[in-house]
Amino acid sequence: MGISAVDAPRAFSMGISAVVRGTKQRLRELFCANSRSTSSQDAFEKLPVDIMHHIYSILPLRDAARAACVSHGFLLLWRCYSNLKLDVGTLGLAHKKYEDWEIFLIDIVDRILRNHSGNGVETLDLGLLCCKNIDPSYLDRWLQIVVRLGIKQLNLQMTTFKKKEYSFPCSVLSDDAAASSIRSICLGGCAFRPTPTLGCLRRLKALSLFCVQITDEGLGHLLSKSFALEHIYLYECNEIICLKIPCMLQQLQVLTVKMCERLQVVEINAPRLSSFHFNGNLVKISVVDPSPLRDVSFSSPCRSRMLSYARTRLPSITRNVTSLTLLSYAEDVNIPMLHSKFPRLKKLEVKIKRPQDVMCLVSFLDASPALDSFILHVDVNVMRPDSVVGGENAADDPRWKPQCRHDCLREVRIIGFSSEKNLVQFVIYIVESTPRLESITLDTTFLSGRSCDINDKSRKMKMWCSMMTEGCIAEAHRAVKVANRYIAERVPSGVRFQVLEPCTQCHTRTRRVLWY
């Protein structure tokens, strides 16, 4: 392959990426297509062991396994192959019948991990979402093989519809040698019951739990042994009632909590937390030292009046926040006009369900003197027929007369702009109260993704825009006319004003979805 044993280390030290790309292609030609030539294989096996191991380790798993079938040298490397991603796709089972996936997947995974016993695995990504009947003994054996000294990443994803509940064996993390090397744990669809006997996870930086049964006490034991954590992600962990983030997590930067149904209290004492993302029922949230917080998002899946909650309770923990995202499904028309502010807020993104709720956003604009960018998402599907702009002047309502100026606001984008009266008046309010406005974009589609301009000719694939119903398409065209009639003439000449219409390729009454 043009690289001698003498030149290979030099190529590696200077950056072996180009060599590796050629090697990967050559290996596929030689061993995956059953090439008859062995001279290149012999040349490859004469490379220094560390170079061989590196090149082999970055091959896709299926190619690495096939190469091991035709060469004793590759077989030895395969048994030390340290990055294992095992699921239906990577193991080539997608072409089989769905009902057969579980049997084949369990059999293949079992054979692979048995062959790797004692040889060390750095990464195990085990996708078992199709396995409803798996015997827990298999999982226990696999984890005992893999979770040893040298393991760095563990990702175990299971379905929540199993016939037998599975509890992750904490005993594999009780060994300090194994616990000390792991850097990332991601568990899904199982129970996790940490105890004080858990080993010290001194290098664990990322923890993700999806639909995991873990109690407040168990999570407390886990966090107390994981003082190097930088990211925590909790999704549908419904046994957690009081989430306490202790001060010993000195490196924690990102905390995400979503859909934990029984959660009532969140207490944060991590001194360097910069990003906090919360989705769920409104709960009591306290932050001992909120000064490092810069990025915050709050949303709720129910009619919880999130904007009112954010306006009245968040200023105490968001005084240094520069980016705030809020998702609301229902609001009171009047949010309290408090003296509290978001003094350093630069970017505000709000998603509301009902266009008529837009009036309450004035309170947020008034409370954000440093605001530079504002993005609003509106659901067009919940408009009332009697609330659209008619022949009257859309700016006559005295409630929309500017009470203060938004001197720092430069960019405004409204996604889901419609002909709803309050929404039109809100845009006019922004135009008239924002002296330094540079651009305002009104997107008449209800999702911001516009993909028709993305073409990948090499794969002959075209991405389409998001689906829109006939009613939404008709409303979008009406909104364009309303924007041009009531808003365009009020926009100062130096401001970039755009009204984005539905895509002519995708948003038609006779639209066909094509992938070619």
The per-residue pLDDT for range 404-417, each reduced to its tens digit, is 788 999 999 999 89
Average pLDDT of the segment spanning 215-237:
97
Tell me: pLDDT of 100 over 70.
Answer: yes
Tell me: pLDDT of 459 over 60.
Answer: no
Q: What is the pLDDT of residues 301-329, one digit of tens each?
A: 776 678 888 888 888 888 899 999 998 87
Tell me: pLDDT of 2 over 80.
Answer: no
Q: Name which of 213-217, 251-255, 420-424 the model is least confident about.
A: 420-424
| Three-class SS state of 7 | helix
- Looking at residue 332, what is its pLDDT? 59
Only one residue has tokens 């990504």, namely 125
The amino acid that residue 475 corresponds to is: E
Q: Predicted confidence band at 22 (pLDDT cuts at 50, 70, 90)?
A: low
Integer angstrom CA distances of residue 299 from 142, 209, 282: 38, 19, 9
Average pLDDT of the segment spanning 117-126:
83
Tokens of 382: 């919940």
Q: Name which of 65-79, 181-195, 212-226, 353-367 the model is least confident about.
A: 65-79
- Looking at residue 289, what is its pLDDT? 93
- Looking at residue 316, what is its pLDDT? 85
Q: What is the pLDDT of residues 243-294, one digit of tens each?
A: 999 999 999 999 999 999 999 999 999 999 999 999 998 889 999 999 999 9
- Looking at residue 325, what is its pLDDT? 94
Average pLDDT of the segment spanning 86-108:
91
- Looking at residue 55, what is its pLDDT? 67
- Looking at residue 57, what is its pLDDT? 65
Most confident segment among 66-70, 71-75, 190-194: 190-194
pLDDT, the chain, mean: 81
What percent of the chain lies above the pLDDT cut of 90? 47
Average pLDDT of the segment spanning 185-193:
97
Residue scoring higher pLDDT (463 or 234):
234
- What is the three-state SS of 255-283? EEEECCCCCCEEEECCCCCCEEEEECCCC
Tokens of 114: 């048995």
- Looking at residue 330, what is its pLDDT? 67
Short-list 369, 352, 358, 318, CA closest to 335: 358
Q: What is the pLDDT of residues 350-402, one digit of tens each?
A: 988 877 778 888 888 988 999 999 999 988 765 655 566 654 555 455 555 65
Q: C-alpha dihedral over 35, 41, 44, 46, to 10 degrees? A: 180
Tell me: pLDDT of 238 over 90.
Answer: yes
Tell me: pLDDT of 512 over 50.
Answer: no
Only one residue has tokens 């001698």, namely 4
Integer angstrom CA distances of residue 134 from 94, 131, 191: 19, 6, 15
Under 8 Å CB-to-CB from 514, ≥6 apart: which residues? 462, 464
Q: Predicted confidence band at 130 (pLDDT cuts at 50, 70, 90)?
A: very high
Tell me: pLDDT of 508 over 90.
Answer: no
